Amino acid sequence: MTMTKGGTAKPPSPGGVTGAADAARPTAHAAGTTAAPRRSHIPGEGTAHAAAVEQARKDMLHEVRARKRTRIGADVVCEALIRQGVDVFFGYPGGVILPLYDVLGDYPELRHVLVRHEQGGAHAADGYARVTGRVGVCMGTSGPGATNLVTGIGTALLDSVPMVAITGNVPGVLIGKDAFQEIDINGITLPMTKHNYLVRNADDLPRVFAEAFHIARTGRPGPVHIDITKDALQQETRAEHPTDEEVMAGLPGFRPNLDGHPRQLKLAAAEIARAQRPMILAGHGVLHAEAWGELRAFAEKTQIPVAHTLLGIGAIDETHPLSYGYMGMHGWKHVNKAIQSADLLFAVGMRFDDRVTGNVRTYAPYARIVHVDIDPAEIGKNVAVEVPIVGDAKRVLEAMLPLVGEVDPAARADYFEQLAEWRQESEASSWHGSGAWRDGLLSADFVVQRIGELSDHKGTYVADVGQNQMWLARYTGFRAPNSHVSSGGLGTMGYSLPAAMGAALGRPDRETWAITGDGGFQMTLQELMTLVQDRIPVRIAVFDNKKLGMIRQWQEIIYAGNYHSAHLLGPDYLKLADAFGIPAVKASTPAEVDDAIRFAQGVEGPALIWFEIAEEQNIFPMMPAGKGLSDLIEKWGGAEE
């Protein structure tokens, strides 16, 4: 390749000026001669732009001089992460993000965990964020590195998890040239982030990082993506980090409303005062707002039972007298029954997802609805509500507390009696206290419950997606906020192991369990090596039914037993764990369960348990798609589950 520079063109990269002798050579364009024969393959040769493109191509091939140790864009990134309180982040290097890795060694405060796949990095940042309430950070290079992050970013968006995803991109002048590992990642993440940035100039980095973290954690949390060109990482800069006021001033369109409107609060209080069979529906927003104390005080003062969504698990201690349980598609029958007969739903930080409501036309037919959410767009989106309140769950519940009257539990005696009766009936069915399902093999609900009990309900329990996720949600017994981590909105299989990795680093004081099916486990099991290399103590429980369990259940019940691709071969998980250097044990009978769990708890660092569970156990009750909460299926084929 001929390297030609025209005129006074100056490359923007700090790679230095090479080939200065070429500078004086006139070209056909510069000389203004017409119809000269083409002598070069470089489009627009002799122009400043063409020279810059050529220089950038050389930089892509790493023909750059040794870096000068002045403050460059990559330093700004590290400074910004430290300023935002980041202690650990998850990444994978690649060509254009190498300038950042070049300076990382100078910032020992930042712990970088080298994952085995960028998707694992994104889920780890997500798991870290969910257990700590802080912003999780993940990083990848351009092209495939960036697209691999996408699933994790989408998972964070649908569950409103605060996250900043950083990617490198090709040098600015090569953008749009289909350069090596170039993809329009900004265009890809645009509809699946709260906001995204493309940074081409190092001077913009301090502002962009401050804004990104502010946006990610403020109001309804969510992921923010920052794409940085390689030359921006390499440029020298003196730009200073902005103050909080400057950040706010730069975001005039971002002013989340935190306090509920006083008139709406009064209306809500009036609704509560007249309700005879009210229910509180607690969602993820309660955890985001750290409003569990306020929720409890509010429920106790008004004597209203609290049901929770999948992501609302932990909003109230499940052993609290007013906690009524998990609602929705695979929720407890008594909870769904109570919702269907309630005359008031007080919904906090939840969004009436289709997995919660089923058919909206028949949802909670007697209930008026008070809906508290920080995102105005959630109100009236899925169900029409009587009293909308836009605000932060914590502030709204705080403000509501003095407005509601103290209710004597005796006033609700009939209501509570009915609820208790339903609960006893529903909890007694579909439960395998003996530990064995009808074919004598391990019953998954029993295993999950023993994990909860033997870890004193004080661990972090990270679900994968499918049957295992529902068993975990129903039978573990959650006591503390942020102890349950689950991909609710996007339903990302393969989430459990990498998310548990982040969760274990975020809350090292807790025992961290990754509970996964054999299908999801095989999607991201490469992160086993990350656990080993970084000594991250995750206890992995693989629920092996040799099936894609939820697929098999749907095909059995909804597709008339027409099974396809539900049967799944798996490896010998003991040998697999052994190859990774992870202590592992297998449990196939109820008698082996406790010992296996204690074995894993006794290991320092990661450990794996291979639970061979019943192959055809279904998760019941189940609300078939398109049906309502009153149409739960509780058994199939005449057999009790």
The residues annotated as belonging to the active site are 118, 180-181, 230, 550
Three-state DSSP class for residue 147 = helix
Which member of 16, 176, 262, 365 binds another protein (CB under 8 A)?
365
Strand partners, 224: 164, 195
Binding to another protein by residue 156, rule CB under 8 A?
A: no
Task: Select 182 or 318, whichever has its Cβ closest to another protein.
Answer: 318
- Shortest CB 319 distance to another protein, Å: 5
3-state secondary structure 235-263: CECCCCCCCHHHHHHCCCCCCCCCCCCHH
Task: Give, as ranges, the residues between 196 and 225 that touch another protein (CB under 8 A).
Answer: 198, 215
Which member of 71, 320, 395, 586 binds another protein (CB under 8 A)?
320
- Shortest CB 510 distance to another protein, Å: 20
Nearest to 463 by CA among 326, 571, 272, 285: 326
Task: Give, as ranges, the residues between 471 and 510 that touch another protein (CB under 8 A).
Answer: none
Task: Select 418 or 526, whichever has its Cβ closest to another protein.
Answer: 418
The C-alpha atoms of residue 205 and residue 166 are separated, in whole angstroms, by: 12
Whether the upstream peptide bond of residue 252 has omega within 30° of 0, thus cis, is no
Please provide the DSSP assignment of 467-524 as one string: HHHHHHHHHS---STT-EE---SS--TT-HHHHHHHHHHH-TTS-EEEEEEHHHHHHH
Task: Select 23 or 251, whichever has its Cβ closest to another protein.
Answer: 251
Helices 118-132 and 496-506: angle between axes, nearest 10 degrees: 50
- Stretch of 33-41, 68-76, 322-330, 492-500 lying at the interface with another protein (CB under 8 A): 322-330
- Stretch of 95-103, 130-138, 183-191, 492-500 lying at the interface with another protein (CB under 8 A): 183-191
Residues 6+ apart with CB under 8 A from 520: 464, 465, 466, 468, 493, 494, 495, 496
Task: Select 329 or 374, whichever has its Cβ closest to another protein.
Answer: 374
Binding pattern for the stretch 252-291 against another protein, x by CB under 8 A and - elsewhere: xxx------------x--xx-xx-xx--------------
Binding pattern for the stretch 329-358 against another protein, x by CB under 8 A and - elsewhere: ------------x-x---------------
Which member of 51, 164, 202, 385 binds another protein (CB under 8 A)?
385
Pairing of strands 278-282, 344-348: parallel
- Shortest CB 98 distance to another protein, Å: 26
Binding to another protein by residue 412, rule CB under 8 A?
A: yes
Task: Select 71 or 479, whichever has its Cβ closest to another protein.
Answer: 479
Nearest to 3 by CA among 30, 28, 25, 32: 25
Alpha helix positions (H), 326-389: 333-341, 354-357
Nearest to 374 by CA among 356, 353, 389, 355: 389
SS3 content of the chain, % helix, strand, coil (to 5): 40, 15, 45
- Stretch of 3-11, 19-27, 400-408, 441-449 lying at the interface with another protein (CB under 8 A): 400-408
- Please report, as ranges, the residues that interact with another protein according to CB under 8 A: 186-187, 190-191, 194-195, 198, 215, 251-254, 267, 270-271, 273-274, 276-277, 300, 305, 317, 319-324, 341, 343, 360-369, 375-377, 380-387, 405, 407-413, 416-421, 423-424
